[in-house]
Chains A and B, each alone.
Chain A
Amino acid sequence: MRSALSWIGVHAVAIAMAIGFIAPIVFVVLTALMSDQQALTKDLWPHELHWENFAEVFQKSPMLGYFGQSLFYSLTATAAMLLSSVPIAYGLAKLKWKGRTWTFYLVIVAMMLPPQVIAVPMYVMWAKIGLTGTLWPLILPNFFGDAFSIFLLRQFLVAIPQSYVDSARLDGASELGVLLRVIVPMAKPGIAAAALFMFLRTWNDYFGPLLYTGENRANWTLSLGLAAFRSTHQVQWNLTMAATVLVMIPVIVLFFFAQKSFIEGIKLSGVKG
């Protein structure tokens, strides 16, 4: 009797929470499908489904261009991160050297640093090189390691038994050989998680693109384009919500294809003391 009651209680709370998490998305999608008059009323359900709203978003705003910029930013930053951060994480997890622990602390310091703290000198530096107005100031540093990704990858590599590394070394493999032929194949889930998080972080980034490309509309990403969309289409909540849905879709699709990697990656980032 008591366990039946607690079963009902737990499931009632879970369902209530699930509704709280999902209802906002449902209302956004429903509004995106309304006519512009209906979107201004108290109606919650569209009279008829205006799928053409999504097409109209592309006509009213250069969403395809923003999409291209976002994709360019996220893909190049992620590729650069992988190129640099996998070897760095290997150096922190599987090579033994003096100062390794302190270097790892510096990674944490960099990871925890609010981007606004160093925004002024970074902006000055990129302005002198002439790259403000582009997304390169956000992409290039990733060729030198991204702190959060290094942290995540290092946590994953540490969990790989040292014996695999040692026996490959005894077989005469170079460190690069050990990394490429032993570690990388075993660390695929960790690498996938790091890449996904990097893609997501850059895709969702607003502060970075605002800082460097705010004045140069030609290089705006989706985040900036979406923030500006509402202002140019003041009263059209339906189109604004349609644009919102369009920006969310790639992220949600990515999640459903790679849910396992996401969840594994988050668990890793939790730092088990």
Chain B
Amino acid sequence: MSVQNLSTAASLPGTPPGGSAARAPRRGAGRAARRNRWTVLAFMSPWIVGFGVFIAYPLLATVFYSFTSYDLINDPVFVGLRNYVFMFTQDPLVWVAIRNTAFLVVAITVGRVVYGLLAALVLTKIKRGSGVFRTLFYLPALAPPVAAALAFVFLFNPGTGPVNQFLALFGVKGPLWFNDPALAKPTLTILALWASGEIMVVLLASLLDVPAEYHEAAALDGAGAMRRFWHITLPSISPVLLFAVINSIIVGLQYFTEAVVAGAVASGSSDAVGNIASLGYPDNSTLTFPMWLYEQGFHSFNMGYASTMAIVLFVVSAVFTIILVRQLRATGATEEE
């Protein structure tokens, strides 16, 4: 990268070949490099400021607050590792929240990717009308999460909801879905599958990029459909698949809106906007880690403790971001020229 940049400075656009640059190559190159530097700075300065003020500073401040007791009104008081000790040994709900988020991360990621891949594979096999199917498959992904959660609480309503009526056609007595602590998270997972169209579109595009000759050659060698899928299709789309997986993990780690709204509405709570009584309904089974962080930070105003939870969330999400960046470097996606 840096080697390339040195050569860039010399062949900078706007510096005509020959001329002053040829007579005084060192000085000309220096001036061009300086001009280049100012241009880059002009284009990038908003982001440099933005990253500093809205990403780097709050990250550092979160680290600081995580070692304090802070309620927004009084100055933060340094408490050392107390928040961390409290989180791992005393907070009765944080482990519930961690387990719930872990469940949702795994279920949403596996579900979205497998279902998205299945939908994409089906679409590649359809010759006519695949565009219509693609539109229908993708449409729910646009639905505002609040609207989608409301719709699903209605659809999965145990008494009169269409889902349980459908099950009754087969003589199955439908479960309580959002009102059953064991089923609330799986029902949220179904909601996530419904809105998985984005992954489907991404995977479909990469599936269509796999050269048809590969499949033909393998078919001639007698490889069956399953073997072709494992040995040709999957390796070809693996970079896109990895991005889809990591993207889903990040979505799962910050899972908040659907759980808040579904819990509040299913509980019949009187207030669905950040209401605490209904948070995690039923029986804390939908209390996710970001929800508990939000409750601690912005309802109980334990902002120091909320920052401690934020650090944990950051560390976990950073692991997956690093995996993604390493993958990008390995495939050279960032060294395009």
| Residues of A in contact with B (beta carbons under 8 Å apart) | 6, 10-11, 13-14, 17-18, 20-25, 27-28, 31, 40-42, 44, 84, 87-88, 90-92, 95-98, 100-101, 103-110, 112-125, 127, 141, 143-145, 150, 158, 162, 165-166, 169-170, 172, 175, 200, 203-204, 206-207, 210-211, 214, 222-224, 226-228, 230-231, 234, 237, 240-241, 244, 247-248, 251-252, 255, 259, 262-263, 266-267, 269-273
Contact = CB atoms under 8 A, between A and B. Distances in A.
Contacts of A109: 55, 318, 321, 325
Contact of A108 (B47, B152, B324): B324
Given A97-B5, A112-B321, A141-B50, A266 B202 contact: yes
A167 B82 CA distance: 62
B224 to A, nearest CB: 12
Given A96-B8, A98-B2, A227-B272, A206 B239 contact: no
Interface residues of B, number: 114
A95 B55 contact: no
Contacts of A13: 122
Given A14-B122, A119-B306, A169-B14, 9 more contacts: A115-B254, A119-B298, A206-B261, A241-B151, A247-B146, A248-B142, A252-B139, A269-B198, A272-B240
A228 B133 CA distance: 34
Contact of A40 (B59, B139, B160, B254): B160
Given A21-B136, A87-B46, A144-B46, A121 B160 contact: no
Nearest to A259: B135
Name the prevailing secondary structure of the A interface residues: helix
* Residue among A14, A166, A203 with max Cβ neighbours from chain B (10 Å): A14
B144 A84 contact: no
A22 B136 CA distance: 7
> Would you list the 3 A-B pairs with minimal beta carbon distance, nearest first?
A273-B239, A144-B50, A169-B13
A172 B320 contact: no
A120 B136 CA distance: 39
Contacts of A88: 43-44, 46-47
B72 A124 contact: yes
B264 A227 contact: yes
Interface in B1-31: 1-2, 4-5, 8, 13-14
Interface string B268-309: 111111100000000000000010011001100001001100
A118 B53 CA distance: 11
Given A13-B122, A103-B47, A206 B264 contact: no
Contact of A103 (B44, B165, B268, B270): B44
A234 B268 contact: yes
A148 B116 CA distance: 22
Contacts, number: 316
Given A14-B126, A214-B274, A273-B333, A96 B4 contact: yes
A243 to B, nearest CB: 8
Interface stretch (B32-40, B88-96, B106-114, B226-234): B32-40
B225 to A, nearest CB: 9
B163 to A, nearest CB: 9
B324 A112 contact: yes
A22 B139 contact: yes
A170 B55 CA distance: 38
Nearest to A7: B125
A206 B145 contact: yes
Contacts of A267: 201-202, 205
Contacts of B50: 84, 141, 143-145
A172 B268 CA distance: 67
Contact of B137 (A11, A17, A251): A17
B310 interface: yes
Interface string B316-337: 0110110011011001011111
A96 B2 CA distance: 10
* Residue among A21, A98, A110, A262 with max Cβ neighbours from chain B (10 Å): A21
B201 A271 contact: no
B142 A252 contact: yes
B58 interface: yes
27 contacts: A21-B140, A21-B194, A24-B155, A24-B194, A87-B46, A95-B39, A96-B4, A97-B37, A103-B47, A110-B51, A112-B250, A116-B294, A118-B59, A120-B62, A120-B303, A120-B307, A122-B58, A123-B297, A127-B72, A165-B13, A206-B260, A214-B298, A234-B268, A263-B134, A267-B202, A270-B206, A273-B243
B61 interface: yes
A90 B40 CA distance: 10
Nearest to B38: A175
